[in-house]
Amino acid sequence: MSEGSLPLSALQHWLFCPRQCALIHVERLWEENRLTAEGRVLHERADAGVPESRDGMRVLRSVQIASVRLGVHGVADVVEMRGSQPFPVEYKRGRPKAHRADEVQLCAQAICLEEMTGQDVPAGALFYGARRRRQAVAFDADLRALTARVAAEARAAAAAGELPAPVYDPGRCESCSLNDLCRPRAPRGGARDWMARRLARAGVPE
């Protein structure tokens, strides 16, 4: 793992909400709610078990992956080896989303696998728990370019240690487990709010 490498999940967080990404990956804050708990259980089920062979392919679980070019690392839930060609499958709770955050996270996994195996990875799949079926994802030039841009932006923000200002969006904010920590509708106190959170996390009274 190279210095400054980010978890793969940071790309999904950044594209969903840059402030959420910074709270998790810069300030190291986390709160769980029902939605994140359901997602964690789904991932644990997908990651459980040993490698197996079925339908002429090898199924690998909890595969450690990394990309020097993107500066990311993490774990692929499932990688199906179809001959010598990897096919990543990422498990998500809920349903497909209007934004491309899940696709970017999966595409980053594909780029990791390409660097590690030397094989092209043209496609993968997202498995959504609410629908109980896969959604195919093609890793075309547009998605790869978006993935590279998001990785670069997230790494730069993490290196700078900056906390983006909140932008209240009911569709995102009300379901976010960090809503109480982020307080997107509260009056902004600027640097004082940021420092207060830092001190609270370190156990230092104001």
Once rounded to an integer, what is the mean pLDDT over residues 84-92?
Answer: 94
Residue 131 lies in a domain: yes
Q: How many CA atoms lie within 13 A of 58 on its CB side?
A: 8
pTM of the shown model: 0.76
Least reliable range by pLDDT among 65-69, 104-108, 157-161, 168-172: 168-172
Q: Which stretches within 48-167 are classed as H helix? A: 101-117, 141-160
Residue 1 lies in a domain: no
Which H/E stretch holds residue 77?
A: strand 72-82
Q: What is the pLDDT of residues 125-137, one digit of tens each?
A: 999 876 778 999 9
Residue 206 lies in a domain: no
Domain range enclosing 67 = 6-201
Reported as a pLDDT band with limits 50, 70 and 90, residue 139 is very high
Residue 191 has pLDDT above 70, yes or no: no
How many Å apart are CA 33 and CA 178, to the nearest integer? 9
Domain count, the chain: 1
Q: What is the pLDDT of residues 3-26, one digit of tens each?
A: 679 999 999 989 888 888 888 888
Q: What is the CATH number of the domain that holds 132?
A: 3.90.320
